[in-house]
Every structure is written in structure tokens, then in C-alpha cells.
């Protein structure tokens, strides 16, 4: 099933709106720092906008939008190899200075190849210090969004998240989970509201958790431990993450792709 140009524009406009709302929320959480936006162009078609905030509270947060296209989908083999493609999405990652404030990640995307399209995305929470009430609120928000897809979606996508964000070489799950989904095909007008609900849930719940934890007292030892713990996040994104690989394979902006990495990290 194909997707129309009007539907593509609806998705891109929504992704841009999510980026704006996230950057505004991060500015409020930090209290002083302002987000910087940097447009970029892809020589082979399309581009995007990098949005980054760096401050004393929000150590580094990014919210990027991309819209790229080309004549050959970067698949090594299979039915999609060398077919024309279009890909757009919004991706966000946050690293807070306070060890008690969690890392948060979310992305949603639309990809079309030839006459086929699908949605993918998800959201997950990676706290250094786990608070059950934060975990519950985060999952409850995503569970509500999943009701727009199917009755068993939350259980399915939550399990998928734990399997996807599994650091094999450490035999650890990254964080306290969330949801993950990919290759959702079908009717655009049926699937898109669920994708919107997922992103909206994150925009609503994650800043609340940051505001709750950003001023918690911590020790130098806890800050140092946080930096070592961040290494797991960097390892995962560099070794396993599909989005990182896809961005590089399609000639995306490397500055945007690697905005997910922590600003300071130890091993």
C-alpha cells in the first residue's frame, strides 16, 4: 500500500511540531539555556534540522527532524534493494547533569520504499537511579498510546523494547524499558494516530520526570558513577542501534546522528 504526498506532508509537519515542543520543554527544564537549530542539506536529496540544547541543568539534549529521499534504498539485499525511498522522522535524546534525572529517548519515523510504506519508532527510559513511580508513569503513558493500535500492542511492543535495547556483550537491558515497534504496515490513517499518540505521550510525560528529579542532591561519587554508566548508552548506540546505522547508510548528517551520544562519559 502506498502513501500520498499529502500524507507524507502530514507526517513531516507533525515531526517538526514535536521537535519544537520538545526543545521548548527542555528550555523550561533547564531554565537558562536556549536551544540552537541548525539546518542541513543532503547532497543526494532532502535534509533536516538539528536541534540541540546544552546547559548547566540539561547537559545535552537533542531533538532532530530529517526528511531524506533518493533513488536507491540502502538495503544490501531483499525486495527493497535499489528501489526509490523516502524517510522522515523525529528523534530525541536527553542527558541531564543530575545523576537522578534519567536519560530519555524517543523516535518515530515514516519510511516509504517503492509502493510500500511503514512506521517505526518507540520510546524508552534509562535512569541511573531507578524510581518506581517514574517508571510507572512513563509506562502508563505509553500504554495509553498503544490503545490506539491494538489491544495487545503494549505487551507486544514493551517486550520488543526489552529485546531490542538489550546490550548483548554486557548481558543487560538498557534502562527500564518502554515500547519499540517497526515495520508497521497497513492503512496510513489508522496507523498515524498511534504514532502521533506515542510521540505526544513522551512529550507530555518525560519533561515532568525531569522537573521532578533535576534538583535532587547528589554526591561527587554519584556523578562519577553516572559517567561510567553512560558508557553503556554510548556502546549500544554505536554498536547496535538501527537508526544510527540507517542514518550513516543514507548519507545523513553525522552531527545529527551522533547527537545521541553523551557529552561526557567514562570507561
81-95 pLDDT, tens digit per residue, is 778 999 999 999 999
In three-state secondary structure terms, 71 is coil
Position 54 confidence tier, pLDDT thresholds 50, 70, 90:
very high
Residue 194 placed within a domain: yes
Residue 12 placed within a domain: yes
149 is catalytic: no
Q: Which of 95, 105, 139, 149 is catalytic?
A: 105
**20/49 Cα distance (integer angstroms):** 11
pLDDT digits (tens, 9 = 90+) for 120-140: 999 999 999 999 999 999 999
Residue 78 placed within a domain: yes
Which contacts qualify for 167-173: CB closer than 8 Å, 24 or more apart?
Answer: 167/232, 167/235, 167/236, 167/240, 168/240, 169/235, 169/239, 170/232, 170/235, 172/232
- Axis crossing angle, helix 188-213 with helix 5-30, rounded to the nearest 10: 10
Asked whether residue 77 carries a pLDDT value surpassing 70, the answer given is: no
Asked whether residue 231 carries a pLDDT value surpassing 80, the answer given is: yes
Cβ–Cβ < 8 Å for 86, 142: no
Average pLDDT in the 156-183 region? Answer: 92
Residue 266 placed within a domain: no
Residue 130 placed within a domain: yes
Residue 73 placed within a domain: yes
pLDDT digits (tens, 9 = 90+) for 170-227: 888 889 999 999 999 999 999 999 999 999 999 999 999 999 999 999 999 999 999 9
Residue-level pLDDT at 200: 98
Residue 245 placed within a domain: yes
The residue among 62 and 166 whose pLDDT is bigger is 62
Average pLDDT in the 18-42 region? Answer: 97
- What mean pLDDT value characterizes the chain? 92
**221/148 Cα distance (integer angstroms):** 44
The residue among 129 and 73 whose pLDDT is bigger is 129
Residue-level pLDDT at 240: 79
Residue 85 is part of a domain; what is its CATH number?
A: 3.40.1500.10
Residue-level pLDDT at 172: 85
The residue among 242 and 76 whose pLDDT is bigger is 242
Cβ–Cβ < 8 Å for 252, 44: no
Average pLDDT in the 140-149 region? Answer: 97
Asked whether residue 106 carries a pLDDT value surpassing 60, the answer given is: yes
Average pLDDT in the 105-131 region? Answer: 96
| Cell matching residue 79 | 525486495
Residue 238 placed within a domain: yes
Asked whether residue 100 carries a pLDDT value surpassing 70, the answer given is: yes
**66/89 Cα distance (integer angstroms):** 6
User: Percentage of the chain with pLDDT > 90?
Assistant: 73
Asked whether residue 145 carries a pLDDT value surpassing 60, the answer given is: yes
Range of the domain at 100: 5-260
Residue-level pLDDT at 247: 67
Residue-level pLDDT at 243: 67
Question: DSSP class of residue 103?
Answer: E
Domain count, the chain: 1
Amino acid at each position: 500500500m502506498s502513501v500520498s504526498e499529502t500524507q507524507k506532508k502530514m507526517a513531516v509537519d507533525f515531526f517538526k511540531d514535536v521537535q519544537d515542543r520538545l526543545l521548548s520543554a527542555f528550555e523550561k527544564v533547564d531554565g537558562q539555556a536556549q536551544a540552537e537549530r541548525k539546518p542541513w542539506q543532503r547532497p543526494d536529496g532532502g535534509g533536516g534540522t538539528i536541534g540541540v540544547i546544552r546547559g548547566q541543568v540539561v547537559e545535552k539534549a537533542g531533538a532532530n527532524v530529517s526528511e531524506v529521499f533518493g533513488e536507491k534504498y540502502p538495503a544490501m539485499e531483499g525486495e527493497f534493494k535499489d528501489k526509490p525511498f523516502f524517510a522522515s522522522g523525529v528523534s530525541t535524546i536527553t542527558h541531564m547533569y543530575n545523576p537522578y534525572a534519567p536519560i530519555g529517548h524517543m523516535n518515530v519515523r515514516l519510511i516509504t520504499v517503492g509502493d510500500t510504506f511503514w512506521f517505526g519508532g518507540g520510546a524508552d527510559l534509562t535512569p541511573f537511579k531507578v524510581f518506581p513511580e517514574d517508571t510507572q508513569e512513563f509506562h502508563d503513558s505509553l500504554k495509553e498510546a498503544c490503545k490506539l493500535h491494538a489491544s495487545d500492542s503494549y505487551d507486544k511492543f514493551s517486550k520488543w523494547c526489552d529485546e531490542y535495547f538489550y546490550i548483548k556483550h554486557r548481558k543487560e537491558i538498557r534502562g527500564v524499558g518502554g515500547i519499540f515497534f517497526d515495520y508497521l504496515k497497513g492503512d496510513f490513517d489508522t496507523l498515524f494516530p498511534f504514532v502521533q499518540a506515542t510521540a505526544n505521550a513522551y512529550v507530555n510525560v518525560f519533561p515532568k520526570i525531569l522537573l521532578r528529579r533535576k534538583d535532587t542532591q547528589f554526591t561527587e561519587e554519584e556523578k562519577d558513577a553516572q559517567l561510567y554508566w553512560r558508557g553503556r548508552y554510548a556502546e549500544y548506540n554505536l554498536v547496535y542501534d538501527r537508526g544510527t546505522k540507517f542514518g550513516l547508510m543514507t548519507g545523513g548528517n553525522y552531527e545529527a546522528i551522533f547527537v545521541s551520544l553523551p557529552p561526557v562519559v567514562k570507561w
